[in-house]
Structure 1
Amino acid sequence: MILYFSATGNSEFLAKSLGDELGDEVVDLFSYIKEGRTGVFESTSPFVLVCPTYSWRVPLFLSNYLLTCDFMGSRDFYVVMDYGDSFGNAYEYIKDDLDNLGLNFKGLYGLKMPENYVMLFDLDSPEVNKKIIEASKEDLGKVASYIKDREDFPKKKVGFVGKFQSGVINPIFFKFIAKDKKFYATNKCISCGLCEKVCVLNNITYKEGRPVWNGKCTHCAACISKCPVSAIEYGKKTQGKDPYLLSKILEN
Structure 2
Amino acid sequence: MILYFSGTGNSEYIAKKLSEALDDEALNLFTYIKNGKAETFHSEKPFVLVAPTYSWRVPRFLSEYLLGCTFTGSKEIYVILNYGDSCGNAEKYIRENTKKLGLKFKGLYGIKMPENYLMLFNLDSDEHNRKLIDEANDKITKAAAIIKERKAFSEVKCGFAGKVQSSLVNKFFFKFIVSDKKFYYTDKCINCGLCAKNCVLNNITYKDGYPVWNGSCTHCASCIAKCPTGAIEYGKKTIGKERYLLSKVYREKK
TM-score, normalisation: structure 2: 0.98
Letter in 1 for 2:117: Y
The corresponding residue for 1:63 is 63
Structure 1 position 224, deviation (Å): 0.4
Q: Output one character per residue of 1:17-60: Cα deviation in whole Å (capped at 9) or x when no partner.
A: 01001000110000000011212111110000000000000000
Report matched runs for 1:49-60 at 5 Å.
Answer: 49-60=49-60
Identity %: 62
Aligned ranges 1:14-93 → 2 under 5 Å:
14-93=14-93
- Could you say what secondary structure the match of 2:199 adopts? coil
Residues of 1 paired with 2:147 and 2:37: CA distance? 28
Displacement of 1:232: 0.3
| 1:224-243 pair list within 5 angstroms | 224-243=224-243
**Corresponding residue for residue 144 of structure 1:** 144
Question: Hey, what does 2:164 align to over in structure 1?
Answer: 164
Q: 1:51-93 CA deviation, whole Å, 9 max, x = no partner?
A: 0000000000000111011100000000000001111000000
CA–CA distance in structure 1, aligned partners of residues 37 and 29 of structure 2: 10
Paired residue secondary structure (1:156): coil
Q: Which amino acid in the other structure matches residue 43 of structure 1?
A: S
Give how far 1:251 is off.
4.8
Q: For the residues of structure 2 that align with 1:228 and 1:251, how far apart are their CA atoms?
A: 20
SS at match of 1:95: helix
Report the counterpart of residue 117 of structure 1 in structure 2: 117
TM-score normalized by the length of structure 1: 0.99
Partner in structure 2 of residue 207 of structure 1:
207
Q: CA deviation at 1:250?
A: 1.8
CA RMSD of aligned residues (A): 0.9
- Equivalent residue of 2:48, what SS? strand
For residues 86-118 of structure 1, the C-alpha deviation after alignment (integer angstroms, 9 at most, x for no partner) is 110000001101101110000000000000001
Query: Shift of residue 156 of structure 1?
Result: 2.0
Q: How many residues are treated as equivalent by the alignment?
A: 252
Amino acid of the structure 2 residue aligned with 1:7: G
Runs of 4+, deviation exceeding 6 Å: none
Structure 2 SS opposite 1:157 = coil
Corresponding residue SS for 1:48:
strand
Q: Secondary structure at the match of 2:250?
A: helix
| Contact residue 91 and residue 156 of structure 2 kept, 8 A | no
Letter in 2 for 1:129: N
Indicate the SS of the match to 2:36.
coil
Matched to 2:218, the amino acid is T
Q: Deviations over 1:155-176 (max 9, x none)?
A: 1210000000001100111111
CA distance in 2, matches of 1:206, 1:76: 42
Within 5 Å, which residues of 2 pair with 1:167-182?
167-182=167-182
Aligned partner of residue 62 in structure 1, secondary structure: helix
Secondary structure at the aligned position of 1:111 is classed as strand
Q: In the TM superposition, what whole-angstrom CA distance separates every residue of 1:177-232 from its partner, at most 9, and x where no partner exists?
A: 10000000000000000000000000000111110000000000000010000000
Give the Cα separation in 2 of the matches to 1:63 and 1:155.
20
CA–CA separation in structure 1 for the residues paired with 2:28 and 2:171: 26
What corresponds to 1:198 in structure 2? 198
